[in-house]
Chain A
């Protein structure tokens, strides 16, 4: 830097005059402040939830059903329902999402209008407000098919909600597999599907798994669409596939909405349970990415 400065013009490249240096500092301060706002809010949120929730964190929260008496209330049916929904969601989302990604990356001709339309459609779906998916579920699954407000309807609607996420992650993972792998397999006489199934998919599993787990963690925390397809106030029994249900975020929502402070404390404790579940899922995703990531 100093090599370019002379005594007559003591201007370092990228530094400028004094007034500019002042504005530069001010600007950097603004940038750091912007970043700090996000992290401060995150810290405030976590501290607030921990302070409010830890006193109510007990075995009862995990083992008891809901009750009008906050001293006896727990979230067992809600937690179980969220776990069921998560399992169903993975079973539905991964095959459909990976199938779509394989079609788009390996089979589809990019110059065809319907393939471009398909891509635009998936991008748009990713931006549709989650409550609109709830309306879709209400109209077709709950009322149209007559399923009623059951766990399966909730799982199906969350599947559609996170499908674009899984498709995008799977496409990126598939695209990262170098073409030389495909060409090598083709040269040995493999068919298209043999190439995809034996070479491309095994190589892209880490990326697909990471994306799927992140989609799962989004779905488990999702509340709005479930308001329309589920959200029975009082479910004290363990959930079944075609029975009414209440998921953990819905339970939290209902406790927050109650006027008594004891229920708000319960809500905070349930939020801790929810965040721990999500933290676990994200940790698994990060671990898988670091453990199995391949560099070609």
Chain B
């Protein structure tokens, strides 16, 4: 093997632990492992290429400014309109309601698990809460459409069959474990000395939690919020089933809206001809979705790294 000759040519500076004689195949195995690792890089490249190429073609036909500022999304109408704002407003509307559910309750659950629960109770509570995150989203879609919406109507909120509010609440519930789990990790990394110091000064437990532990873990907590919001933006099945399929430039939570993800799902479901403008809209909207979530994810990853560096 050619590479083997090259590596053996130079004199080794120090004797190494392990086998002296190189077995043939060791390098081949390393190459195979690198090939495995390369698949995930290829996936990212594939996503970028898959999105960019048709999206560029799309923007040759449709003015980018019209796309980003247009208030009417009607690709199937004659003449068609390609203003993406109604899809973005629909996504934001659902995400706002999801955020209002997952942030207070996710953080509350995290503080309880990290600061109040005894180790034995935590050992059971944490996986039990994560069962929520393991339920398929299509099941949550069923729940939103046939339980949450009637429930809201029963308590006097005048939502339609499809509404941003109902879908948003259920997306938020789905993401409580995500926020709780990442926040709890961040709080568990706060050194015990900080808590002991505050107790020694006479601070009550809730002040230790809110004024010492939460500020010390804030970067991880914010990361959990950002990651949760990014998941809410990318959620498809709940919003497809419960928020409706009508592009609607409105932030009224009781109205039906179409999100970017629901549009991609609905258009991809039909057998649209390859190369048609309608086919390319999937990729233009997909690109917008990908860029939005990517920026948020990178931001969250950086925040998580930051708190790790401080205390380890």
| Residue positions of A touching B, CB distance < 8 A | 11, 13-16, 20-21, 23-24, 27-28, 30-35, 37-39, 41-42, 44-45, 48-49, 52, 95-100, 102-104, 107-108, 118, 120-125, 127-136, 138-140, 143, 160, 163-164, 167, 183, 186-187, 189-195, 214, 217-218, 220-224, 227-228, 231, 249, 252-253, 256-257, 264, 267-268, 271, 274-275, 278, 282
Q: Cα distance A140–B46 when bound, in Å? A: 8
Q: Is the CB of B112 within 8 A of A31?
A: yes
Does B51 count as interface, using CB distance less than 8 angstroms? yes
B265-303, CB under 8 A of A: which get 1 and which 0? Answer: 100110000100000001100100110011011101100
B43 touches A160 (CB 8 A): yes
Q: Is there contact, CB below 8 Å, between A143 and B112?
A: no
Interface contact A131-B265, CB-CB below 8 Å: yes
**Distance, CA A35 to CA B106, complexed state (A):** 8
Task: Choose one: B106, B136, B268, B274; the contact of A227 (CB below 8 Å).
Answer: B268
Q: Is B188 an interface residue (CB 8 A)?
A: no
Q: B310: CB under 8 A from chain A? A: no
Which of A27, A130, A163 is the one whose CB lies under 8 Å from B206? A27
Q: Hey, which chain A residues are within 8 Å of B53, CB to CB?
A: 139
Asked if B40 lies at the interface with its beta carbon under 8 angstroms from chain A, I say yes
* Distance A104 CA – B136 CA, assembled complex (angstroms): 30
Are the CB atoms of B241 and A257 closer together than 8 Å?
Answer: yes
Cβ 8 A contact of A121, one of B40, B113, B261, B268: B40
Option from B18, B19, B26, B40 in Cβ contact (under 8 Å) with A167: B40
CB-based contact B199/A13 at 8 Å: yes
Asked if B47 and A128 make an inter-chain contact with CB atoms under 8 angstroms apart, the answer reads yes
Cβ B261 vs Cβ A189 within 8 A:
no
**Beyond A38-B176, A131-B234, A224-B236, is A31–B293 a contact (Cβ under 8 Å)?**
no
* A138 & B109 in contact (Cβ 8 Å cutoff): no
Report the Cα distance A258→B104, complex, angstroms: 35
B139 adjacent to A191 (CB under 8 Å) = no
